[in-house]
Structure 1
């Protein structure tokens, strides 16, 4: 029976209790896997480096050697991988395990066109497709309080994936068409990355002008522009506590490139986003890719030091 036309069954997990395959158990995939298992759903896990998936065995997961093995018998397949190409390649590898026509929930941040290309791949694989990029980083992923932006060509897929999304997220925002969740995710990330770079530059300016950068955070606190994000990232920048990533800088640089390239394709020039993308890519090239996105703070600080030396 076609994955696009079947009715929910969840035969192995009982109706409403799907068996879930998680492909990719990095920071986000592992956290989602643990919450899926904690919700009482069946869990199968695969990662290219098997050692990264092994800890999920402690949560009751069956750790598998191939994507196809992980998907075999699953009702829902969740991909939590690094980019569109990797997602597409892994799902092609999973082909032989998709005979049960699971619903594919694709959580990686891709371009709107990338989301539509993956939906076309799902049709070729004869599985239902849910585009579902995530808002949130490591901490909300661990807490199960992510926000999911979702759309599907198959309306019945919403109910099929509901137990999975409820396990990993506090909120799901359903949109009308595939491509729209990725568009909204890029708009959201444009704000996030602009905020990070804005904090970094404000702190660097204060420090360079001889003002304690802690005072910048203090005067923002209680103002109309304050946010938990500022109060979290600002002190970490000042204390240089940036090597344990909530959101890796290399992933932020990838997303920044998606933002600027997608905007250009739409005939839009985003001046701030272009600068932020350039700064993040420079930071990644400078060896900061595995640090937190807030490690962009190290780049303007180095530039300031270099300017001082040239005087």
Structure 2
């Protein structure tokens, strides 16, 4: 079993996952491009590294959680050569299937075992350790990652035997998240424009076959005008563009419309929560 893990990337998700890992018996080392993000770990049970290469040195597993494939390339250019032969690279950033396949090939050439492992969930579940891990890779490597997966996720779904199956599933799931979030924003806007209190949309949904706890979370955020990010607009826009660019042979109308809506929301503030797609309907 894995006994030491390096976490590269301490954004909203990475920091929460690293905190969960630091509360276990695992030996944890963290690194982030912006040193400010490492401050909460400097007097705690995790070791703070000055570089990606220093962070991964001697680690049984390396968990990456960065914004996109470009950022991942930059980080792993120095981290991958410094990883121990046979170590496990648990790649949890949402980078899309094409990039996931490429990174798996790089790992194999470096003698590192690659596990495609994006997470379903946002800030709250990450802090509570209740994410859902989507994994694809060598079953033995996944088994050895159990101490890491148990710390950050309450469930694990095997998406396939190798990358990029899990990354493909993650992109598909994020199109659903984008759809349902835009859907509640649209329904509440239509109600508002027709002279009905938009809060009644949530009341009408409650207890029906089409009800969703998630719709209530985002709907209440809209009503409170509270767009503190748990999953930001820039992130979902990046994922929609991945889905749109890497799927051939499907009708693009819905993906195109979603991409346009979230792009409009990003013009206001890409750092706001995806519930801010509501604002795209207001203009």
Shared fold, TM over 0.5: yes
Aligned equivalent of 2:36: 51
Match of 1:267 among 249, 253, 259: 249
Q: Distance in 2 between matches of 1:95 and 1:80?
A: 15
State the TM-score, normalizing by the size of structure 2: 0.96
Look up the SS of the partner of 2:42 in the other structure: helix
Aligned equivalent of 2:15: 30
Tell me the alpha carbon deviations over residues 4-53 of structure 1, each in whole angstroms, 9 at most, x when there is no partner: xxxxxxxxxxxx35111000011111111111111221110000011101
Aligned equivalent of 1:308: none
Aligned equivalent of 1:9: none
Q: Which moved more, 1:31-40 or 1:96-105?
A: 96-105
Structure 1 residue runs of 4 or more that deviate by more than 6 Å after TM superposition: none
Aligned equivalent of 1:226: 211
Q: Distance in 2 between matches of 1:49 and 1:26?
A: 10
Aligned equivalent of 1:65: 50
Tell me the alpha carbon deviations over residues 87-113 of structure 1, each in whole angstroms, 9 at most, x when there is no partner: 122111114521354210000112212
Aligned equivalent of 1:99: 84
Match runs of 1:134-213 below 5 Å:
134-152=119-137, 154-174=138-158, 175-213=160-198
Match of 1:280 among 251, 258, 262: 262
Tell me the alpha carbon deviations over residues 75-134 of structure 1, each in whole angstroms, 9 at most, x when there is no partner: 100000011121122111114521354210000112212111010111122211000011
- Aligned length in residues: 282
Tell me the alpha carbon deviations over residues 140-186 of structure 1, each in whole angstroms, 9 at most, x when there is no partner: 0000000011111x332112211101110001111223111112112
What root-mean-square deviation, in Å, do the aligned CA atoms of Structure 1 and Structure 2 show? 1.3
Q: Distance in 1 between matches of 2:277 and 2:174?
A: 15
Aligned equivalent of 1:291: 272
Show structure 1 runs of 5+ residues with no match: 1-15, 303-311
Q: Distance in 2 between matches of 1:17 and 1:33?
A: 15
Whether 2:93 is the aligned partner of 1:112: answer no
Look up the SS of the partner of 2:246 in the other structure: helix
State the TM-score, normalizing by the size of structure 1: 0.88
Q: Distance in 1 between matches of 2:94 and 2:271?
A: 18
Show structure 2 runs of 5+ residues with no match: none
Q: Distance in 2 between matches of 1:141 and 1:270?
A: 32
Q: Which of 1 and 2 has greater Rg?
A: 1
